[in-house]
Structure 1
Amino acid sequence: MSISGTSLGRRQFLVASAGAALAATALPGCAASVDDGSDGGGSKSGKSGQTTLTIMSNGEIDKPTIKAAEQALGVKVSLITFDATKLNAMLASKNPPDLVRGSGALDTPYFAARGVMTDLDPYFAKSTALKVSDLDPVNDVWRFDGKKQGAGPRYGMAKDYSQDAMFWYRTDMFDAAKLDYPSETKPLSYDEWLDLGKHLVKRRLGKVKVYGMNGAGLGPFTMFMNMTASAGGKLLADDLASVDFSSPEAIKALNWYLEYAKADIGPSVANPNPDGWDGPTYQANRMAMANDGYWFGGQIGSDAKIAKVSRFAPAPQLGSHRISPCFGATGYWIPKEAKNKDAAWKFFEWYFGGKPAQDRASSGWGIPTLKSLRSQMPQTTAFQKQAYKVQEQELPYLQVMTFTPYVQGTALDAVINKVLPGAIKSGTSAGKIADQLNSQMNAQIAKGKELVG
């Protein structure tokens, strides 16, 4: 069976919300009251007046976590499966969950600009469990001052993070192809990376059996943001109210992706991965290089045979401006209209500063977001030691790139997913693709800006 495809989002978060991307742009700054027909808000109470803490999340908040939280905090936890459409309806009706899972890097500007997030600075100021001085700088993606990320009030916190443009590779496949391993310190250029992918791909009867690489990253728009920035440019204007794919740097990124997609050596928007994400494909010996950050080591480490032949490498660069961004920093935030803010904050302190945080730090599923937990990152096996070493060397190149507050990332990804497949198949030039992306994305951003006011 041939392989085809791309994973456009990791840990299924972006996949789960992509279907609601266009509707999500319509959440106004001052939302009208709307009944979403659910009882899922934070106003419910348990037996005998016990507080019910309502959390909108996914499978990471499982039954054991819920039970542990209830025992530790003395509350009843009600879990709502994350759904972007339902979240926006609950926010609009002023009956939101008490805690919401989200991507700090992408969600903070959008929701903060609409005034629906709680300023957590007063809570941090009084907390003994979570000290601002102990927060890893990546948590600044959860700050937004109305113009840029990294400044202003703190609206959430990441549970862990990775530098998302880094990649993992299979030494057994490199050995079979008689290729040198990538450097642990010097990043590859995107062209060098692509050339490796072309040498590592395996086909049978004209169909791909083993991907040479996945160059898709966390999502197409953030991938282009990263590549353009590495080349010395930027996609978003200074006022965050428009994109420009027509700059020389962005055109360079588009041309690279067009060559990658046409080469058919890995997942692309024109040929999506039936597995949905890199994990199953990589572990089934059907991918030589996976464009995933440190967190993916938790997946790899679950199979000793795969871990033995896996290595971690720095983020490739399109130009001379070396960066290694984080486009996730997934964590939680408290809506402004939440009914149980104090209970929600107690969950914050327990989940981000207590035993759950310690367990995550030692699991290898991401970099802890408290500096005091960094020493607990796994460094026992040769696989873990190599990944830790490379990750430590990459940290100085972490950069926060401000995302637009006027539209959600899934909406911009949807435009790319609409425009690029046909353009790739027809051989449309990068310049014409840029014009289409600019026109459609800027129309959505303008509409979102009007709604924010």
Structure 2
Amino acid sequence: MSLPDTAPFGRRRFLAASAGAALAATALPGCAASVDDSGSGGGKKTLTILSGQNEIDAKSIKAAEAALGAKIRLIEFDVTKLNAMLAGNTPPDLVRGQGAVDTPFYAARGVMTDLDPYFAKSEVLKASDLDPVNDVWRFDGQKQGAGPRYGMAKDYSQDSMFWYRTDLFEAAKLDLPSDTDPLSADEWLDLGKRLVKRRLGKVKVYGLSVAALGVFLPLQTMTASAGGSLFAEDLASVDFSSPEALKALKWYLEYARADIGPNVVNPNPDGWDWPTYQANRMAMATDGYWFGGSIGADAKVAAVSRFAPAPQLGGTRVSPCFGASGYWIPKDAKNKDLAWKFFEWYFGGQPATDRASSGWGIPTLKSLRPKMPQGTAFQKQAFQVQQRELEHFSVLTFSPYAQVTALDAVINKVLPGAIKSNTSAGKVADQLNSGMNELLTKGKEALR
């Protein structure tokens, strides 16, 4: 009975008070009909948070309960579960989300709380102190970066930047990438081909890993760098056949066919880049500043690791954030004021200071940037590269008519066969346009 994450939801479907929707929501584990447990636990209210345990662990929950004077109920995040809870009008009080891709979708459906009044009154979270990345949590109905503020990021990275291992570059007798000038995408790809190592026809050391957060967003970024846009101006369709998008698609097809790194045909068996990079089996990893949190915890890896600017496909320098993970408050949440109290503690209190000094992402309050670690040579180099890259931060508007998981599902359906059969980029573009535009059209119709 739960709604699939690829369904083109409309506001009415989310808010319908149908028995079926309510049943779908309440049948999920932990999804009680009411999120206000004020009659239990000694009269304390309960704040229900839909998130992952990697975001809020048991220690953090205890600290939050002490700071808020409330109980915390943590429900493991799942997008299907979230959509079912919204449809059944049993929303949690707080939802973990990716501002860069979630905001347009949920804001367009009228299920997010406008937080501007809260920011205006807060003594802890001032709009003037917010890092520009928080603008991905704004949507005016037409574009991202403008209009009401619906959420806030806990930390972030510019996700087209990459880390590399100097030992593997030196072994291949290759010059190290510049700290200041971005590589061209073609130079980057060439380095990946030179750095890959094979044994008996199988890749033993990846030369380059791209698209760790899916393929659609890197293609959107490359298209923007080439001076174009994957989405039409009204965000209701995509066009992979434009010269700029076709250039980006050709680049990815060449990368995948060269088999120099994880791709839709041969994904990384480790599941993500860090175990592979740590084991000296990946020369370049396209992961933002947050990846330095893992690197910095391993002194041997840190000693041979450096950070580099985002490579560019064309003459328009862009360096966006694909995630901006944080929290938002559903419009029908039962405990909004308590949820905002959590906002102030989590985003502006000790947890925010601890995150800023950890190296696991750029803090989203400008006043916390001086807390970013610079104690070691590795941290200092990464910090300096990241500070310069901030000048090129870009907000790429995502469509409100489909979720990124649905668009990546089309890519994962089309590309493997096309890569293996050497299908032309033009034909691949047509297939992607057909599959994605059908989803976007249905999504737009659902909002009418």
TM-score, normalising length: structure 2 = 0.95
2:176 counterpart of 1:181: yes
Per the TM alignment, residue 264 of structure 1 is displaced from its structure 2 partner at its CA by: 0.6
What residue number does 1:52 align with?
46
2:225 to 230, 252, 266: 230
The aligned amino acid for 1:287 is: M
2:402 to 403, 407, 422: 407
**TM alignment of 1:91-170, pairs within 5 A:** 91-170=86-165
Q: 1:105, 1:264 → 2: CA distance?
A: 29
Q: Deviations over 1:247-297 (max 9, x none)?
A: 001111111111111111000011111111101111111100000010100
SS in 1 for 2:320: coil
SS in 1 for 2:49: strand
Q: Deviations over 1:97-129 (max 9, x none)?
A: 100000000000000000000000110011000
2:16 counterpart of 1:22: no
**TM alignment of 1:23-422, pairs within 5 A:** 23=7, 25-26=8-9, 28-29=11-12, 31=14, 32-33=16-17, 34-35=21-22, 36=25, 37-38=27-28, 39-40=31-32, 42-45=35-38, 46-58=40-52, 59-422=54-417
Whether contact under 8 Å (1:217, 1:223) holds in the other structure is no
The aligned amino acid for 1:349 is: E
Q: 2:347, 2:278 → 1: CA distance?
A: 30
Per the TM alignment, residue 47 of structure 1 is displaced from its structure 2 partner at its CA by: 1.5
- CA separation of 1:238 and 1:106: change in aligned 2, threshold 3 A: same
Whether contact under 8 Å (1:27, 1:92) holds in the other structure is no
SS in 1 for 2:316: coil
Q: 1:277, 1:449 → 2: CA distance?
A: 33
Whether contact under 8 Å (1:142, 1:155) holds in the other structure is yes
Whether contact under 8 Å (1:27, 1:88) holds in the other structure is no
Whether contact under 8 Å (2:37, 2:44) holds in the other structure is no
Q: 2:12, 2:232 → 1: CA distance?
A: 21
Whether contact under 8 Å (1:326, 1:400) holds in the other structure is yes
Per the TM alignment, residue 449 of structure 1 is displaced from its structure 2 partner at its CA by: 0.6
The aligned amino acid for 2:221 is: N
Q: 2:9, 2:279 → 1: CA distance?
A: 41
The aligned amino acid for 2:425 is: A
Whether contact under 8 Å (1:215, 1:291) holds in the other structure is yes
Q: Deviations over 1:328-376 (max 9, x none)?
A: 1110000001010010000000000000000000000000000000000
Q: 1:151, 1:262 → 2: CA distance?
A: 40
Q: 2:418, 2:392 → 1: CA distance?
A: 33
The aligned amino acid for 2:326 is: G
Residues matched between the structures, number: 434
Q: 1:301, 1:203 → 2: CA distance?
A: 28
The aligned amino acid for 1:54 is: T
Q: 2:11, 2:125 → 1: CA distance?
A: 32
The aligned amino acid for 2:35 is: G
Whether contact under 8 Å (2:163, 2:306) holds in the other structure is yes
TM-score, normalising length: structure 1 = 0.94
Q: 1:243, 1:44 → 2: CA distance?
A: 45
- CA separation of 1:217 and 1:315: change in aligned 2, threshold 3 A: farther
Q: 2:129, 2:310 → 1: CA distance?
A: 26
Q: 2:229, 2:12 → 1: CA distance?
A: 27
The aligned amino acid for 1:180 is: D
Per the TM alignment, residue 216 of structure 1 is displaced from its structure 2 partner at its CA by: 1.8
Q: Deviations over 1:173-224 (max 9, x none)?
A: 0010000000001100111001101111111111000100102242211011
Per the TM alignment, residue 43 of structure 1 is displaced from its structure 2 partner at its CA by: 2.9
What residue number does 2:419 align with?
424
What residue number does 1:15 align with?
none
The aligned amino acid for 1:26 is: F
Q: 1:271, 1:419 → 2: CA distance?
A: 14
- CA separation of 1:21 and 1:421: change in aligned 2, threshold 3 A: farther
Whether contact under 8 Å (1:301, 1:307) holds in the other structure is yes
Q: 1:327, 1:365 → 2: CA distance?
A: 15
SS in 2 for 1:232: coil
Q: 1:438, 1:29 → 2: CA distance?
A: 28
Per the TM alignment, residue 20 of structure 1 is displaced from its structure 2 partner at its CA by: 4.7
The aligned amino acid for 1:401 is: L
Aligned-pair identity (%):
73
- CA separation of 1:333 and 1:340: change in aligned 2, threshold 3 A: same
Q: 1:105, 1:349 → 2: CA distance?
A: 21
Per the TM alignment, residue 28 of structure 1 is displaced from its structure 2 partner at its CA by: 3.8
- Gap regions ≥5 residues in structure 1: 1-18
Deviation larger for 35-44 or 413-422: 35-44
